[in-house]
Amino acid sequence: MANVLIVYATRTGETGRIAELIAEGVRFGGSQAKVVNVSEIKAESALAGYEALVFGAPTYHGDMIQSMKTFLFLAEKAELAGKVGGAFGAFGWSGEAPDRIYDTMKHIFQMDMVGNPLRLKSSKLGGGMQMAQDYGRQIATKLAA
């Protein structure tokens, strides 16, 4: 069974809730998922052994939260080329963070990204729960292909 690592940064908890829902969708799709707060990752070795990696951060002041930026410099040292990837995050009105993360994973890490980054105002609003679970399923489906 394929293993998926979901790493999230958050300030008020919303992006963490989205991470848990993505993990549910991954499991519905038949893969294993582990959810980790970015603050727990101390070395790039923590990213080894996964077929897919999904990174998420909220947008503050038009940018991803600082802890995710720092994490992406660490992730650059891991060998992620060719692995399946996805990016997500909670936002209020502009939501730049998931796009920036997605582009970094695609262009710098050379990962095999799912269709689009996932941006959600809230996991509780406008079908957010379903969209997050569907994103997880999409990752699992890509792994099975």
Ligand X SMILES: Cc1cc2nc3c(=O)[nH]c(=O)nc-3n(C[C@H](O)[C@H](O)[C@H](O)COP(=O)(O)O)c2cc1C
Q: Can you tell me which residue has the tokens 């603050």? A: 39
Nearer to ligand X, 12 or 49 (CB): 12
Q: Which stretch binds ligand X (CB under 6 A): 9-17, 34-42, 98-106, 109-117?
A: 9-17
At its nearest, how many Å lie between ligand X and the CB of residue 91? 4
Q: Which residue is nearest to ligand X (CB)?
A: 92
Q: Is the dihedral of CA 25, 28, 31, 35 positive or negative?
A: positive
Determine the Cα–Cα distance for residues 69 and 97; give it in Å rounded to an integer: 10
At its nearest, how many Å lie between ligand X and the CB of residue 120? 8
Determine the Cα–Cα distance for residues 72 and 75; give it in Å rounded to an integer: 5
Q: Report residue 106 as tokens.
A: 């695609």
Nearer to ligand X, 57 or 139 (CB): 57
Residue in 110, 135, 108, 114 with CA at minimum distance from that of residue 33: 135
Nearer to ligand X, 45 or 70 (CB): 70
For the chain, what is the radius of gyration of the CA atoms?
13
At its nearest, how many Å lie between ligand X and the CB of residue 75? 19
At its nearest, how many Å lie between ligand X and the CB of residue 14? 3
Residue from 14, 29, 113, 138 binding ligand X (CB under 6 A)? 14
Q: What string marks each residue from 60 to 99 as x (binds ligand X by CB under 6 A) or -?
A: xxx---------------------------xxxxxx----
Q: Do 57 and 28 contact (CB within 8 A), yes or no? A: no
